[in-house]
Amino acid sequence: MRASLTLALEGSTYEGSVALLRGDEVVAEMSLHDDDGGMPVTGRGERMLPAVAECIEAAGARVREITKIVCGAGPGRFTSLRIAGSAAKGLATGLGAELYAISSLLLTVTGARPAPRAGEYLSVLDAMRGDWFVANVTVAADGGVSENGPARIVSGVELEAIAAADAGLRIIGPGRTMDARPHARGVAPLLARITAGGPVDLASWEPDYGRLPEAQVRREASSGRSSAP
């Protein structure tokens, strides 16, 4: 009897991704590029579900084999995260599957190709307004990966100071020396840990957006109200 399937969705950046796993093996994956290879700024919602269908077809699988769904939990781009989170919750509801969540900053490291070697990393994602979401991640010699403490926001100046203070710390993220983005395939090496932590509450779970959406910040600024970070 074949093992059941896990569907992974990631949407913390404009370049979202989908992966289908049988056990802890990736059997199909897709990045949501524009046709010209760029990152899609619009139409992300229209790409996510067709990508899921294409992965199922490419794997020669059946949708009813999906028993678990894992969604990148952020932090990251508000709209992209909301689309991925909504898709994950809708699919979990429709399929009767359990929904799990995992840090998108961790998926940057585990989803990177080639796989990062053992060492200390600072996983980063653009938080806009000159700031960065960051998380310290350790890759062990045996390939195990762990996030050391919660994600946080630092300014661009603080990020450069962190890099300068620790020459052994490797920064990984979009546009950095180690150029990588969170990817749904990164769920594979983390799947046992993700499922051991138990599913999220389907009715109440939302991604960790990290901060208020930019549109809300602009509205509150124009009205003279202060916005939380």
Domain boundaries, the chain: 5-105+182-222, 107-179
**SS3 label, residue 155:** strand
Decide: residue 48, CB within 10 A, 0-12 exposed, 13-18 middle, 19+ buried.
buried
Give the pair of three-digit tokens for residue 25: 């093996």
In the prediction, which pLDDT does 1 show?
63
176: left (phi over 0), alpha (psi -120 to 50) or beta: beta
Question: Which CATH number is 5-105+182-222 given?
Answer: 3.30.420.40
- Residue 211: per-residue pLDDT: 82
- Going by C-alpha positions, the residue among 88, 63, 61 that lies closest to residue 73 is 88
Residue pair 114/220 in contact (Cβ under 8 Å)? The answer is no
Only one residue has tokens 């028993």, namely 67
Architecture in CATH of 107-179: 2-Layer Sandwich (3.30)
**CA separation, residue 191 to residues 77, 107, 199 (Å):** 24, 11, 12
Contact 98, 178 (CB under 8 A): no
pLDDT at 216: 47
Per-residue model confidence (pLDDT) at position 167: 86
State the distance between the two ends of the chain, measured CA to CA, in whole angstroms: 50
Please choose, from the candidates 6, 7, 10, the residue with its C-alpha nearest in 3D space to the C-alpha of residue 47.
Answer: 10
C-beta atoms surrounding 71 within 10 Å: 30
Please report the pLDDT score of residue 36 as a whole number. 41
Q: pTM here?
A: 0.88
Those residues of the chain that have pLDDT short of 50 are 35-43, 215-217, 220-221
